[in-house]
Amino acid sequence: MNYTEIAAQVEGELNRPDKTLYTQRWIEDTYRDFMSREKFSWLFNTSTRYTVANQYRYALPTDFYSLMDLVFINGTTDSWRLKLYTAVEFDTLHPNVLEDTVDKPEDCCITTGLDSSYVPFSELLVWPAPDVSTYTFTLRYEVVSPALSGVLVPIIPERYHAALVFGALSRGFANLREYEAAAYWELKYEKIVTNAIVDDKKQPPRNQIMLPFQGAQVIYPPSYWKKYDVGRVF
């Protein structure tokens, strides 16, 4: 279901046209509560891209929230993990990145800010700037989901979308001080959340570390990095 369909179900069950201004807030609060209950597998993603020679700043995916792991590959048979610093530490260690000798990157940091249109952005800064454009880097990160509206579909799997209806109804009936009805919908909401947590724990481990490799080892295809670790899982 998309947001519009979820909202229609909530408003139809609540049957209070005078409260429709609160619908989006109730759904959004339920959505954020659901995703905060567990480090669900669907809250993580991977992205792989090429470096550009002499460029040390790289835009991160628009859904980027926080970095979990970052590995560089030199295009042949070697890979390595970069040392991650805070933005302040990075600036202190490397105040003149553009003046330093280019080579394979060793250090990095994540920076955030607002562009000229006040749109938030995130960037990866590396040091030294790459000497060639044949490196690739694969980052594994936790995603951030935009606020629900219109035809946007929740990031949670579709089989759990009903939880957003139930949770929003619980909040709606509590607002109306119909606490028995609120408790009824809260129970249905919690049941789906509990099932989602149990189901997700049955998936392969998702807190893996992508280990570097060297020498004659084979570079695995991008599809491998999306599911498993390079090296071993521990």
pLDDT value of position 116? 79
Q: What is the pLDDT of residues 77-90, one digit of tens each?
A: 688 888 999 999 99
Residue 159, phi then psi, degrees to nearest 5: -65, -15
* Cis bond upstream, residue 95 (ω within 30): no
pLDDT by residue (tens digit) across 26-58? 999 999 999 999 989 889 999 988 999 999 999
Q: Which long-range contacts (CB under 8 A, 24 or more apart) does 90-99 make?
A: 90/125, 90/127, 93/127, 94/127, 94/128, 97/56, 97/125, 97/127, 97/128, 97/129, 98/56, 98/129
Long-range contacts of 180-189 (CB under 8 A, 24+ apart): 189/30, 189/163
At residue 135, what are phi and psi to the nearest 5 degrees? -75, 150
DSSP code of residue 99: G
According to the model, what pLDDT value does residue 212 have? 57
Q: Residue 110 is encoded by which pair of tokens?
A: 């994540």
pLDDT at residue number 211? 54
Answer for the pair 194, 175: CB distance below 8 angstroms, yes or no: no
Residues with pLDDT less than 50, the chain = 207, 209, 216-234
Residue 105, phi then psi, degrees to nearest 5: -60, 145
